[in-house]
Each structure stands twice: as structure tokens, then as C-alpha cells.
Amino acid sequence: MKKIALAALVTTVVAFTSCEKQLTQDPIGLTTLEETNSTPTLGTVETSVNSSYQLLSNRLNILAQWDWAGGLVFQNDLVLQDIASDDAEKKWNPDGDQPWMDDINNFTFTSTNGGPNGLWKYNYEGIKRLNIAIELLTKSDIEAITGITTARKNQLLGEAYFLRSYYYFSLVTNFGGVPLILGSVKNYQEAFDVAVKAEPAVVWDRIKADLALAKPLLPNAKFSSTTEKWRASKGAVIALQAKAALYTQKWDEVVTLVTELQGLNFYSLNANYFDSFNQTKEFAENENIFVYDHQSNTNPRSGNGICAPLGWGFFAPSTSFLNAFEANDPRKLYTVNTADQNLNKILGSTNGANKGNDDAANNKIYIRFADVLLWKAEAYLETNRLPEAIAIINSIRARARTSVTVAGTLPPAGTLADRPASTDKATVKDWLIKERRVELGFESQRMLDLKRWGIAKAVLTAAGKNYLDKHNLYPIPQGEVDASAGLLKQNPGY
């Protein structure tokens, strides 16, 4: 059978018979499968990896043109992780715009909702590109053919393994078992063959295996490239290894891996809480481990388009989220300015700059050191090392209370006092849950936290949401199930 360019398939490899109105669009310079089967060049090797980062971007319309209903206008993490949780509402002033987001917020969505559809397509498009990149980089004669150095080849291959694990991490945590595709799909029969779910444990094993492959390939440096600091680094690999261990409840591994990360001495808590998000301090602060580097005025565009819907009134904090902050906690205003309806964290500013800008240059943060430290605190908690867990929680609180506020002053004495010693595990767990919520608000962590802690139903029901057991997983997009001729099984309850 004739080989088919994988880029010609609709975003996922299982949707090869789709007739959707909005088809995927390839960016300028995207490496295709045909190029891997001819004579690759240094340019195609570089592009094969670089294009794979693009699916982490908050750029508008990467995969389609204004396909709101299909969830393809921008990355849907703010919808599926923040709005779906008790932290956020769709808009400051409800107006009926984009009802599919309301359905996510109210847990009345079905398997045709655009949110899960967009999440699925973004991740599998990234995986598709990475499989092409990995096939290129593992050719035995790639150095001789292209002139790429061994060091650069290893670096790019390490990045590719990391990125593929990151996309699969997103898929398995949101959908459970998913098709595990580790190579280019060359014909329709192969597309059918891979249109079946792998068990979650198998997907987790692949995530961990890819990370193990990536780790020795990347330089022992904070940045994999001093001129391209946005690239995935060894620190990012170790951090994602720790997060994978956290989600699979390998507590001792979490402690070991976070300790290893700390031992690199590349990362620390910034003196000021907002430095991680401040556009003027990008790649000059100490806390961010993995980010997407948005840039304005590029071709193809790579600006932070998620700032645009903020100008349309999207993404408002819930009353519950605002009330979660203790008195005088500077993180509250650094996260959201309710008076001006600004989400400062997402804008990268505290003065409204970038609001409404569909090509903003502020970065998207995926992993930062404070989050990682709280994973270690959780692992200590789960292994009954309560003093160590409390010490980490207090270090996060100490940084917050010593951060200069938006107004330029220090919080008053007594703000965010240290948590006292405790031998009660439930009490310390409650402290951890509260600290993660306020420290990581609007960073798309809350929903996944509630689910993995097993408290999503209790918390969201109390918040007035129609949360059912089936909502522990999002539905497989119905179009993907239909396109697979039933081989891809829908998640229970949908």
C-alpha cells in the first residue's frame, strides 16, 4: 500500500477518515514523512524537533482557523484544568459566549465537546511530529548525511524523547488509557492497528522509558543551549520524571528525583513570587524549569495568543479561589487583579500590559521549582515524614511573605506565619492542598490535583458542580471513536 504522509492525517493518527470542516494546517517548514524517506538535511532535522514544541504554544489557531466549537482556537488547559475546577469561571460577566466552556464548567459536557477534542488533537499532533523527529535522529547514518554533530544530534534526540513523554503525560492524566503510537503511521492498516487503547500502566511505563532515554542525551547545564534557552533541559527531564513518579505514587522515587534536581544547583525559589511570570525577567530568574518561549512578530507567529481572550472577558477567578488566600498574601494580587479584571500571571505584567494582544511575547510556564518542591513535600507526607513536609510548605510560605507586593511594600508582620509542628497527617495534607491552590493558581494544576488526590467529587460537588465518577476522566473525542470504526473504546459513562 502506498505510504501516506502522517502530516496529511487529521491531527491524530486514528482520525484518518474524518471529514471535519476545520482541517489541520501545517506550519511553515514542517518536516513531513516523505522527507524522512528521502535524503534529510540538517534543516529538516532541526525543524523536525522545533515544530514539535509548537503544540505547547498558546498561539492562536495552530491547528485550524477559529474552530471554537472544536476546541482548536488555543490550548485548552485553562478550560479543562482551571475552569473545570473550583478556581475559575469562564467569564467575568456571563454572556452565553462559547457554551461548550460552560458545559465543562458545569460538568454537563458530552463526548463531542471541544475541550477534550482540542486536548487530544494538540497532544497527538505533537506526538506525530516527534515520531518523525525520532525516526530521523536515530538513523544510523544521520551524522554523515546531514553533517550534524554528535552533541547536537544527542541534544535534539533528548528533547524529542522528553517532549513525547510530556504529551503522553497530558493524555494519560486526562483520558486514562490511550493509543500508544511510537512511530510514523505509513498506511491505513497501520492506522487501524494503533487505534486501540494501551492500559494506563503501559503508557506510564513508556513515559518513564522516554525520560530515561532523554536524560543522558542532554547537557549537564541549566540550559541545553545558551542561545536557545527555551529548549528542554536535563533539569526539565528530571522534573518530569519526578512528576511521573508522583502521579504513579512512587513516593520514594519522587524524593530521590527532586533531591537530584536540587543537587544540580540550577534552580531556586525567586526572591519575589512574581519574578517567574514577569515578562521582563524571562530566562534571567531562577525558578522556571520548562517554559514555552513566546515571541512577537515572528513568521510563523509564535506570540502568546491566550492574552487575547482576556481582553474579551474570559477566565475569571471564582469566589472560592479568591477566598482561599490568607490575609495580605501578596500572591493574590500577583495572580489576579479583580478591580481591573486582569490575570496578571497570564499577562506577564501587573499593569494590564498584553491584555487583548493576540501576539504577546510573555512565556507560558509549564514546570517551575516551587511546584516541584511541593511534590517532594507530598512525597514526604505520604511516607510519614511530616516534619520534612512541613518544612517545605513553610519555605513556600516564607518566600511569599517576603515578596515585595505589587504596591512595592512588604506584607505586614505576621503574614503567612509558618505552619506549626504536627503529627497529624490529615492536618498536614490539608495544609499542602491549601498551599498548592494559592501558590499555583491559574497554572492549570488544580483539576489534576483534585483528581489524583481522590477528592474531586467531594470538592466540586460542594462547589455546586454536577461532578460524577465518570468525570475523573475526560471522554475520548467522539469523532476519534467513530473514525476508528469502534476500535478505540470510549471511556466509561460517555
Q: What is the CATH number of the domain that holds 448?
A: 1.25.40.390
Give residue-wise pLDDT tens across range 210-249.
Answer: 999 999 999 999 999 999 999 999 999 999 999 999 999 9
HSE (CB half, 13 Å, CA atoms) of 13? 31
Query: Diameter of the chain by CA atoms?
Result: 73
Give residue-wise pLDDT tens across range 251-295.
Answer: 999 999 999 999 999 999 999 999 999 999 999 999 999 999 999
Q: What is the C-alpha separation between 158 and 411, in angstroms, rounded? A: 43
- pLDDT range class, residue 31, cuts 50, 70, 90: low
348/421 same-domain check: yes
Q: How far are the Cα atoms of 46, 179, 181, 272, 438 from residue 414, in angstroms, in the given order?
A: 53, 52, 53, 18, 18
212/302 same-domain check: no
* 165, containing H or E segment: helix 150-175
Q: Other C-beta atoms within 10 Å of 320: how many?
A: 16
Q: How many domains does the chain have?
A: 2
198/109 same-domain check: yes
Question: Which segments of 220-339 does DSSP mark as H helices, in order?
Answer: 234-247, 251-263, 307-311, 319-323, 331-335
- pLDDT range class, residue 21, cuts 50, 70, 90: very low
348/441 same-domain check: yes
CB 56 within 8 A of CB 126: yes
Whether 247 is in a domain gets the answer no
Give residue-wise pLDDT tens across range 430-459.
Answer: 999 999 999 999 999 999 999 999 999 999
Give residue-wise pLDDT tens across range 372-416.
Answer: 999 999 999 999 999 999 999 999 999 999 999 999 999 999 999
Close Cβ partners of 395 (under 8 Å, ≥ 6 residues apart): 269, 373
DSSP state of 403: S
- Per the DSSP assignment, residues forming a β-bridge with 288 are 368
337/299 same-domain check: yes
Q: Other C-beta atoms within 10 Å of 96: how many?
A: 7
Whether 252 is in a domain gets the answer no
Task: Look up cell 504596591; give the residue.
Answer: 407
193/302 same-domain check: no
Of 278, 442, 441, nearest to 350 by C-alpha is 278
Give residue-wise pLDDT tens across range 299-356.
Answer: 989 999 999 999 999 999 999 999 999 999 999 999 999 999 999 999 999 999 999 9
- At 168, list the grid cell: 503522553
Q: Other C-beta atoms within 10 Å of 393: how many?
A: 25
Q: Other C-beta atoms within 10 Å of 297: how many?
A: 9
ω before 40 within 30° of 0 (cis)?
no
Close Cβ partners of 420 (under 8 Å, ≥ 6 residues apart): none
Whether 396 is in a domain gets the answer yes
Can you state the percent helix, strand and coil of the chain, rounding each to 5?
Answer: 50, 5, 45
133/181 same-domain check: yes
401/481 same-domain check: no
339/429 same-domain check: yes
Task: Look up cell 489524583; give the residue.
Answer: 452
Close Cβ partners of 388 (under 8 Å, ≥ 6 residues apart): 377, 380
Q: What is the C-alpha separation between 404 and 411, in angstroms, rounded? A: 7
- At 425, list the grid cell: 497527617
* Confidence at residue 32, expressed as pLDDT on a 0 to 100 scale: 54
Task: Name all contacts of 415-424 with Cβ < 8 Å and 24+ positions apart.
Answer: 415/326, 415/327, 415/328, 415/329, 416/326, 416/328, 416/329, 418/394, 419/390, 419/393, 419/394, 421/387, 421/390, 422/386, 422/390, 423/386
Whether 255 is in a domain gets the answer no
Domain that holds residue 326: 265-453
- pLDDT value at 26 more than 60: no
Q: What is the C-alpha separation between 486 and 470, in angstroms, rounded? A: 20
Whether 178 is in a domain gets the answer yes
Pairing, β 364-368 against β 288-292 = antiparallel
322/372 same-domain check: yes
- pLDDT range class, residue 3, cuts 50, 70, 90: very low
Whether 128 is in a domain gets the answer yes
- pLDDT value at 99 more than 50: yes
* Confidence at residue 24, expressed as pLDDT on a 0 to 100 scale: 40
Q: What is the C-alpha separation between 61 and 33, in angstroms, rounded? A: 23
116/98 same-domain check: yes
- pLDDT range class, residue 39, cuts 50, 70, 90: confident
Percent of the chain with pLDDT over 90: 89
Whether 91 is in a domain gets the answer yes
DSSP state of 91: E
Q: What is the C-alpha separation between 401 and 248, in angstroms, rounded? A: 33
- Per the DSSP assignment, residues forming a β-bridge with 109 are none
Whether 481 is in a domain gets the answer yes
435/474 same-domain check: no
HSE (CB half, 13 Å, CA atoms) of 455? 11
CB 271 within 8 A of CB 400: no
